[in-house]
Chain A
Amino acid sequence: MVKPLLEVKNLRTYFKTRKGIVKAVDNVSFSVKKGETIAVIGESGCGKSSLAKSIIRLLPRNICTYEGEILLENEDLMKLEEKEMNEVRWAKISMVSQAALNSLNPVIKVGQQVAEPLIIHEGVDKKTALERARKALSMVGIPETFAERYPFELSGGMKQRAIIAMALITDPDLIILDEPTSALDVLTQASIMNMLKIIKGKMTKTFMFITHDIAVSSELADKVAVMYAGQIVELTNAENFYKAPLHPYSIKLMASVPTLRTDKKLDFIPGTPPSLIDPPKGCRFAERCPWRFEKCEKEPPSFLVKGDSIVKCWLFESKGSR
């Protein structure tokens, strides 16, 4: 049994806003083994980005609750001081954020920006760092000479590759990819997914891949976590999930994905997700769920195990009859 690289237990991240406390991440637990990719799927506002930011601890100031355990190789990141956490960031966990395309500094050469984590986090001298930056760039498919260029001289896809190079350069254990291809064209997206697959295979990297696009998530995922209204509602392996998801929300979500190769009847989920300020008492999906029954609205479901899957749904309480 391989020990997990990352283990998150009962993570809660709440934000304070004028309207009340937003429970963006509410009691989330999961684990990832080394070399495995976990895809976190959900609609906008379900808390998936907040979950990523909680793990790397890049949180806004209006945070009011931040508790639980985040074990990275058995070390609880929650217990670290800000200064110690700064040493974990990039050395052990790096992140490619959603608006990455615009996160390059326009007046600094690409190579220098890619080298920066090495200089800051590992104390490598500038010349060696630049040398390694060139290698990292060529690994993600950018010619080494591009290190001397400025961001505006690169296309969108290349900028995204450069950002990924920056996330890889310190050889971290865990790389969080927050919607890394959502802003890109389909062809560029496909070539970046190709590159990530190669990196995953060659360097046995552990990815946490956050996306709203189920079809794209299947390009990388070994394991899938479906989030709804701040909670993980289904946690399972990729083979099970893409063939037959279990949680009603996952089923409905999968039915809304148009497929290119097969004809299927498309469906959508009526209604909107609940407010995260005052979520429903029982199951958070109950209001929109076609299979709900009395218990669903009264009591929040606990995690129920079915085969390799963990599902947060009362339907699976009695041997999963539906």
Chain B
Amino acid sequence: MSEQLLLSVRDLCKWFELRKGLFGKAGYVKAVDEVSFDLKKGDAVSLVGESGSGKTTLGKTILRLYKPTKGTIIFEGRDITDLKARQLLEYRRETGLVQQDPYGALPPFMSIKRVLEDPLAIHKVPKSERIDRIYKALEEVKLTPVEDFIGKYPHMLSGGQQQRLVIARAIILNPKLIVADEPVSMLDASVRIEILTLLKELQNKYGLSVIYITHDLSTTRYFSEWIYIMYAGKIVEKALTKTLLDNPLHPYSQVLLNIIPDPDAENRLKIKDVPPGEPPSLVNPPKGCRFHPRCVYIKNGICNEKEPREVEVEKDHFVRCWLYD
């Protein structure tokens, strides 16, 4: 099994320092706090959580766009936690990022050709090869006929086409890992599935591993093998997609699943159970389980005192909750 492992993250923390005045430290925003997981080659995992739960920070830390505060990231057996300049550049070649806002992610003054040539130039791909690879990448994301697109600028493309271009840029160096950060949340419903289908195709064709960051549980069913639920900087539940959707264990996962509507005229007659309050501050997270102030199953003296461990309730189903420990 171990040779199939692509990424292994252990106790990863990313804390952002808060400053008080010029010199004093006021504390840390613990955006990602002691996160551990493994990702196999060719698997897609959905990282689900609300805004501010730390899912984007986790994605960027894994790509080493942020320097981790603590913990280790092992990529194909190599420790990449503390990589410096040259080696980091090599790591970048193996990874790609698909951002949320495609227009914001594309330089408006660069033609499509230049957008795609840039990464090739940075990674010293010989000039003679470049144009072939640009053509191939554009065909891969179905921006065809390529001749029609290659000279265009980002603003001339529709939102869906822009996102395809961002994907083309992410895959042009043949990476092994893609982090897709809410790749479809800014797109229209009819285009969303098109982009997700494309990502899925590329994943299967090249054995890519994908970390799909989203707040929308309903798309995960069709897209990923695994779901990780994040709450206030921690992963609270990890399971295979089907298992998690059929049998969510953590009270927060249950809430998330309950409140997402499917189109049904019955919905208007029902009032849903929504936990009171809001996600906690990441500067001073609550003692014990971070969800306890909003949890209906709270066990006083335990949940609000001690932090729950991660337990494997059934095979491949992990949860951090005192109800199961």
Q: Mark B266-288, 1 if CB is under 8 A from A, else 0.
A: 01100110110010000000000
Q: Which of A86-94, A189-197, A305-313 forms part of the interface with chain B?
A: A189-197
Asked whether, in the complex, the Cβ of B222 is within 8 Å of the Cβ of A258, the reply is yes
Task: Give the CA-CA distance A269 to B216 in the complex, in Å.
Answer: 21
Q: Say yes or no for A138: interface residue by CB 8 A criterion.
A: no
| A37 to chain B: closest residue by CB | B268
Please give the distance in Å from B161's CB to the nearest CB on chain A. Answer: 9
Q: Mark B154-196, 1 if CB is under 8 A from A, else 0.
A: 0000101000000000000000000000000000111111100
Task: Give the CA-CA distance A241 to B263 in the complex, in Å.
Answer: 9
Asked whether, in the complex, the Cβ of B158 is within 8 Å of the Cβ of A241, the reply is no
Name the one of A37, A215, A252, A270 contacting B263, with C-beta atoms under 8 angstroms: A215
Asked whether, in the complex, the Cβ of A187 is within 8 Å of the Cβ of B275, the reply is yes
Residues of chain B within 8 A of A222, CB atoms compared: 268
Residues of chain B within 8 A of A258, CB atoms compared: 192-193, 218-219, 221-222
Asked whether, in the complex, the Cβ of A268 is within 8 Å of the Cβ of B190, the reply is yes
Name the one of A219, A254, A270 contacting B268, with C-beta atoms under 8 angstroms: A219
Interface residues of A in 166-225 (CB under 8 A from B): 185-187, 189-191, 193-194, 197-198, 212-222
Residues of chain B within 8 A of A254, CB atoms compared: 263
Asked whether, in the complex, the Cβ of A216 is within 8 Å of the Cβ of B261, the reply is yes
Residues of chain A within 8 A of B262, CB atoms compared: 215, 218, 259-262
Asked whether, in the complex, the Cβ of A253 is within 8 Å of the Cβ of B218, the reply is no
Please give the distance in Å from B154's CB to the nearest CB on chain A. Answer: 16
Contact-residue bracket for chain A: 35 or more
Residues of chain A within 8 A of B265, CB atoms compared: 218, 221, 238-239, 241-243
Q: Say yes or no for A321: interface residue by CB 8 A criterion.
A: no
Q: Say yes or no for B256: interface residue by CB 8 A criterion.
A: yes
Residues of chain B within 8 A of A261, CB atoms compared: 262
Asked whether, in the complex, the Cβ of A238 is within 8 Å of the Cβ of B268, the reply is yes
| A158 to chain B: closest residue by CB | B278
Among B190, B221, B259: residue with most chain A CB under 10 A: B190
Task: Give the CA-CA distance A260 to B244 in the complex, in Å.
Answer: 11
Please give the distance in Å from B184's CB to the nearest CB on chain A. Answer: 10
| B262 to chain A: closest residue by CB | A259
Asked whether, in the complex, the Cβ of A260 is within 8 Å of the Cβ of B257, the reply is yes
Please give the distance in Å from A254's CB to the nearest CB on chain B. Answer: 7
Residues of chain B within 8 A of A189, CB atoms compared: 259
Among B215, B255, B267, B271: residue with most chain A CB under 10 A: B267
Please give the distance in Å from B96's CB to the nearest CB on chain A. Answer: 23
| A239 to chain B: closest residue by CB | B265
Asked whether, in the complex, the Cβ of B259 is within 8 Å of the Cβ of A213, the reply is no
Q: Say yes or no for B51: interface residue by CB 8 A criterion.
A: yes
Known A186-B215, A187-B274, A263-B221; contact A268-B268, beta-carbon cutoff 8 A: no
Known A157-B278, A186-B215, A215-B261; contact A260-B245, beta-carbon cutoff 8 A: yes
Task: Give the CA-CA distance A313 to B251 in the complex, in Å.
Answer: 47
Asked whether, in the complex, the Cβ of B267 is within 8 Å of the Cβ of A187, the reply is no
Interface residues of A in 245-265 (CB under 8 A from B): 252-254, 256-263
Q: Mark B217-249, 1 if CB is under 8 A from A, else 0.
A: 111011000000000000000000000010000
Residues of chain B within 8 A of A253, CB atoms compared: 189-190
Residues of chain B within 8 A of A256, CB atoms compared: 189-190, 192-193
| B242 to chain A: closest residue by CB | A263
Asked whether, in the complex, the Cβ of A185 is within 8 Å of the Cβ of B221, the reply is no
| A156 to chain B: closest residue by CB | B51
Task: Give the CA-CA distance A44 to B272 in the complex, in Å.
Answer: 28
Residues of chain A within 8 A of B217, CB atoms compared: 186, 260
Residues of chain A within 8 A of B189, CB atoms compared: 43, 212-214, 253, 256-257
Among A218, A252, A270: residue with most chain B CB under 10 A: A218
Asked whether, in the complex, the Cβ of B259 is within 8 Å of the Cβ of A190, the reply is yes
Task: Give the CA-CA distance A215 to B51 in the complex, in Å.
Answer: 20
Q: Say yes or no for A267: interface residue by CB 8 A criterion.
A: yes
Residues of chain B within 8 A of A185, CB atoms compared: 50-51, 215
Q: Say yes or no for B197: interface residue by CB 8 A criterion.
A: yes
Known A215-B261, A258-B222; contact A198-B271, beta-carbon cutoff 8 A: yes
Q: Say yes or no for B314: interface residue by CB 8 A criterion.
A: no
Asked whether, in the complex, the Cβ of B274 is within 8 Å of the Cβ of A194, the reply is yes
Asked whether, in the complex, the Cβ of B190 is within 8 Å of the Cβ of A269, the reply is yes
Please give the distance in Å from B274's CB to the nearest CB on chain A. Answer: 4
Asked whether, in the complex, the Cβ of A266 is within 8 Å of the Cβ of B222, the reply is yes
Task: Give the CA-CA distance A193 to B274 in the complex, in Å.
Answer: 10
Known A186-B50, A187-B275, A267-B193; contact A218-B267, beta-carbon cutoff 8 A: yes
Q: Say yes or no for A155: interface residue by CB 8 A criterion.
A: yes
Asked whether, in the complex, the Cβ of A186 is within 8 Å of the Cβ of B256, the reply is yes
| A214 to chain B: closest residue by CB | B263
Closest 8 CB pairs of A and B: A190-B259, A238-B265, A268-B194, A269-B190, A268-B193, A43-B188, A191-B274, A185-B50
Mark B residues whose CB is within 8 Å of A: 50-51, 158, 160, 188-194, 197, 215-219, 221-222, 245, 255-257, 259-265, 267-268, 271-272, 274-275, 278
Mark A residues whose CB is within 8 Å of B: 37, 43-44, 155, 157, 185-187, 189-191, 193-194, 197-198, 212-222, 238-239, 241-243, 252-254, 256-263, 266-270, 272
Known: A253-B190, A257-B263, A268-B190. 5 other contacts (CB 8 A): A186-B217, A187-B50, A259-B262, A263-B221, A272-B160
